[in-house]
Amino acid sequence: MSARLLSDPLPLRPAAALPAYRADAGNAYLPWVYGRATLTPVPLSADSLEWLVADHPIVAVERVAVGSAATDGWQLTQRLDETGAAISVLRLTQAPQSGQALAVTVLGRRHPETGAALEHPADIAADLLRQCGWSVSADAFQGLRDGYPALTLGLVIDSPQTLREALASIIEPLGAVWRADPPSAHRAMPSAARVVLDLATADEISARSDASHLATVAHVRYAHDWAAGAARGALTLEAPDAIAQYGRIEITLDLPAVRTARDALACGTARLQDLARPRWSCDATVPARLALLPGDTVALAHPRVPSGAALVMSTAHDRSRDSLQLTVVMPAGPAPRIEMTQRSTAVDATTAQNGVTFRDGIATFTVTDDTGAPLAGATVTLDGQDTRETDRSGQVQFRTTRGAHTLSVYAAGYAPFTLDVVV
């Protein structure tokens, strides 16, 4: 197989590629799943007992919900379809009733040799290239492993997109930069300089900064639920000193594949630190022998432009002049202080580990911090009306009805926290 180009579409298969596909699968594409993600599977059998959860082998199905209720009546089989492709199929013991949604939480694609889940961005990016026929070395995207050692992602790819778009959607929201040939990526910040751009090396040089990219408040959405079609978590981050200087400029940062508040906070903070201060973009012409590549770092030491370490964003080789035209970027001033001012998440009572139970008209909520430790003495308000405090176990109870509710949580030392809860 010849390798696909970055501008070629991913080789996703339409549901119509399965000889036995059901007409109500419509124009769906058979999903690729990486890491832990919740999705609506593609119906396979006419009796609604068999559903395709991924167009490849997966590590596991972790949870199946019919309507809003979790069920144990299912079995995962991994088999070849009529075309010889490996697929993962969920077989239910009882078909969902008409109008009942099916949501499946999956731990997705496996490493072909180790069998481990591919959930680090470096592993996912490398696998996407392999699926497109690229030969990828083991240390490809090592910069992502170094920059985000503990990060795990969860995502579903189920719509047509190019290889470039898929790689960008995984790497760029993290605040990282990448190039395809050779495959590499790292945090979007300068590192050790390879070359000094000064009067001796830079023929023409200029710098530009404008206010259009500035933002001082970021609404971060993360943990996208592909079955519900919405993010399950949100944070608000603010740069107070930048707000005082530039005003309140709000943006939304979508991190759909980021699963945890901790990772969303780390990625969102890094991106807001970049957005909440001015940035110089410098154009320079240098000799081609310097052989600079996008992602390299240069030291700016030319009297016409501000000094400092800058990241090479793009290069253009002019063969007639044997020169390289560079565009490099550099933050101006120190990284601003970032504060989390709001956090919210959506919780489904059918997931026991979320700490929500409902019995005899009493909803019990367990409020924990990021480490899972109970938060005692937190003030919890249900639907803006009834306010109580959590006990030593972090638990608080309200008499209420089944349905959707909003919990507002205030605890000393934590950003105000909102939970959208279905009990």
Query: Which one, of 302, 296, 291, lies nearest residue 328 by Cα?
Result: 296
x-or-dash string of contact with another protein, 187-226, rule CB under 8 A: ------------------xxxxxxxx-x------------
Residue number with CB closer to another protein (84 or 303)? 303
Residue number with CB closer to another protein (240 or 416)? 240
Residue number with CB closer to another protein (208 or 321)? 208
Site for another protein in 284-303 (CB under 8 A): 303
Near another protein by CB under 8 A: residue from 45, 251, 280, 335: 280
Q: Is 373 in the site for another protein (CB under 8 A)?
A: no
x-or-dash string of contact with another protein, 65-94, rule CB under 8 A: ------------------------------
Residue number with CB closer to another protein (167 or 328)? 328
Category of 247 on φ-ψ map: left (φ > 0), alpha (ψ -120 to 50) or beta: left
Residue number with CB closer to another protein (216 or 345)? 216
Contact 420/344 with Cβ under 8 angstroms? yes
Q: How far apart are CA 79 and CA 87, in angstroms?
A: 6
- State in angstroms the smallest separation of the CB of 208 from another protein: 5
3-state secondary structure of 73: coil
x-or-dash string of contact with another protein, 329-368, rule CB under 8 A: ---xx-----------------------------------
Residue number with CB closer to another protein (189 or 266)? 189
Residue number with CB closer to another protein (303 or 384)? 303
- State in angstroms the smallest separation of the CB of 401 from another protein: 49
Interstrand relation of 250-255 and 230-238 (parallel, antiparallel or unpaired): unpaired
- State in angstroms the smallest separation of the CB of 241 from another protein: 13
- Farthest-apart Cα atoms in the chain, separation: 81
Structure tokens at 272: 């807001």
Interstrand relation of 323-331 and 217-225 (parallel, antiparallel or unpaired): unpaired
- State in angstroms the smallest separation of the CB of 235 from another protein: 25
Site for another protein in 224-253 (CB under 8 A): 245-247
Residue number with CB closer to another protein (204 or 389)? 204
Residue number with CB closer to another protein (167 or 286)? 286
Residue number with CB closer to another protein (323 or 366)? 323
Q: Is 103 in the site for another protein (CB under 8 A)?
A: no
Residue 23 DSSP one-character state: G
- State in angstroms the smallest separation of the CB of 339 from another protein: 21
Q: How far apart are CA 392 and CA 377, in angstroms?
A: 7
Q: How far apart are CA 131 and CA 109, in angstroms?
A: 12
- State in angstroms the smallest separation of the CB of 295 from another protein: 24
Query: Which one, of 46, 180, 50, 72, lies nearest residue 126 by Cα?
Result: 180
- State in angstroms the smallest separation of the CB of 190 from another protein: 16
Q: How far apart are CA 219 and CA 254, in angstroms?
A: 8
3-state secondary structure of 134: coil
- State in angstroms the smallest separation of the CB of 347 from another protein: 40
- Number of residues near another protein (by CB under 8 A): 21
Distant-in-sequence, close-in-space partners of 67: CB < 8 Å, separation ≥ 6? 96, 97, 100, 101
What count of other Cβ atoms lies within 10 Å of the Cβ of residue 194? 14
Q: Is 305 in the site for another protein (CB under 8 A)?
A: yes
Amino acid at 257: A
- State in angstroms the smallest separation of the CB of 213 from another protein: 10
Near another protein by CB under 8 A: residue from 304, 317, 321, 399: 304
Residue number with CB closer to another protein (245 or 260)? 245
Three-state secondary structure of 141-185: CHHHHHHCCCCCEEEEECCCCEHHHHHHHHHHHHCEEEECCCCEE
- State in angstroms the smallest separation of the CB of 412 from another protein: 35
Give 292-296's long-range contacts (Cβ < 8 A, gap of 24+): 292/194, 292/195, 292/324, 292/326, 293/179, 294/177, 294/179, 295/177, 295/178, 295/179, 295/184, 295/186, 296/194, 296/195
Query: Would you tell me which residues interact with another protein (CB under 8 A)?
Result: 205-212, 214, 245-247, 278, 280, 303-307, 332-333
